[in-house]
Amino acid sequence: MLNLAQEVIKGNQRAIARAISLVENDRDAAQEMMKKIFPRTGESLVVGITGSPGSGKSTLVDQMVSFLRKNGKKIGIVAVDPSSPFTGGAILGDRIRMMQHSADPEIFIRSMAARGNLGGLAKATGEAIAILEAAGKNFILVETVGVGQDEVEVVKLADIVLVVLIPGTGDDIQVYKAGIMEIADIFALNKSDSPEADKMERQLKAMLDLGFTGETKPPVVRTVATEGEGISLLISEIHKFVKNKDQEFRDARKKKLISWMLRDIINEKIYDTVTQNIQASEFDSLVEKIYKREIDPYTVADKIIGRLKKNT
């Protein structure tokens, strides 16, 4: 694991891929490696990108990457994809959407399966970000699953959250309810060459006028990702947002990522401890009793936890 950590720190693309696979599939085995690389994390800019299905997030990311590379940035991309219901693996491949970048040694692209996790994030997204930071990627883009209102957890991982909207969605701005709308630091109104774009922009800005004042109001940037339009302004707004925030704000955002990772690691360790202390046959028997309504799942859970407490 020491050699793997060293290769990650050197920016070895194969080592980065192996390290992320390890934290996805065997967190315990990855623990020593993560301990080695963790001191080298926390300096990158992490941009969370979320929005409704079909809003063009992947195309927007592709254009942002091209622009950032021209400006000398080393980029990590984590695309959290829907999971295959059979294998739990990411259905969309790492290179399918961004083939033009796959040969660039300063760009690392990884798809991660959400595997049923709520909030649009894969279980090991936090560790994947840390690995990319340790590998020297100074600009990390995290694109979440397009599933709607549950995609709010990205705010816990990102320094800045970009919400992608599109015009012509039926009820326009009314479809974007509390939750995903409240996490945005910047809005990208994509496909803004649509005839409905002007109306959508007016409605969005009117809504923001009601909830924000002055510099706290998220900017709205019109983009046409398929043509590369608005990308320069979008990147400029990202840099402006970071520049205008004080160190206390930036520290608070970084601490959210650490908090999310810590809770996730603790939850998994507790779950592993529980499963190690109960036989599969006993577990199946308890499921059968719950199914027959002989007992409820809450009482069973309390008994299992109580047993663990006695053993510690």
pTM: 0.85
* pLDDT value, residue 118: 47
Residues 6+ apart with CB under 8 A from 41: 129, 130, 133, 134
Contact criterion met (CB below 8 Å) for 142 and 47: yes
* pLDDT value, residue 13: 96
The dihedral built from the CA positions of residue 258, 264, 267 and 273, taken in this order, carries a sign that is negative
Question: Does residue 43 sit in helix, strand or coil?
Answer: coil
* pLDDT value, residue 156: 79
* pLDDT value, residue 265: 86
Report d(CA 180, CA 151) in Å as an integer.
6
Report d(CA 238, CA 230) in Å as an integer.
13
* pLDDT value, residue 151: 60
Element (H, E) at 69: helix 57-70
Which has the closest alpha carbon to 250: 46, 32, 14? 46
Which has the closest alpha carbon to 142: 32, 87, 65? 65
Contact criterion met (CB below 8 Å) for 209 and 219: no
Torsion of CA 96, 12, 126, 23, to 10 degrees: 90
Phi and psi (nearest 5°) for 143? -100, 125
Which has the closest alpha carbon to 133: 200, 36, 37? 37
* pLDDT value, residue 116: 52
* pLDDT value, residue 98: 63
Residue with tokens 């920016």: 11
Which has the closest alpha carbon to 110: 227, 23, 52? 23
* pLDDT value, residue 117: 55
* pLDDT value, residue 114: 65
Longest dimension (CA), the chain: 66
What domains can you pick out in the chain, each with its CATH number?
41-246 (3.40.50.300), 277-311 (no CATH)
Question: Does residue 292 sit in helix, strand or coil?
Answer: coil
Per-residue pLDDT of the chain (312 residues; tens, 9 = 90+): 779 999 999 999 999 999 999 998 888 889 999 999 999 999 999 999 988 778 888 899 999 999 999 999 999 999 887 654 444 444 454 445 566 777 889 999 998 876 555 454 667 888 999 999 999 999 999 988 665 544 667 777 899 999 999 997 654 555 455 566 778 899 999 999 999 999 989 988 888 888 777 778 899 999 999 999 999 999 999 999 999 888 888 888 889 888 888 888 888 888 888 888 888 899 999 999 999 999 999 999 999 988 888 876
Report d(CA 213, CA 226) in Å as an integer.
32
Residues 6+ apart with CB under 8 A from 155: 48, 161, 183, 256
* pLDDT value, residue 121: 64
* pLDDT value, residue 123: 72
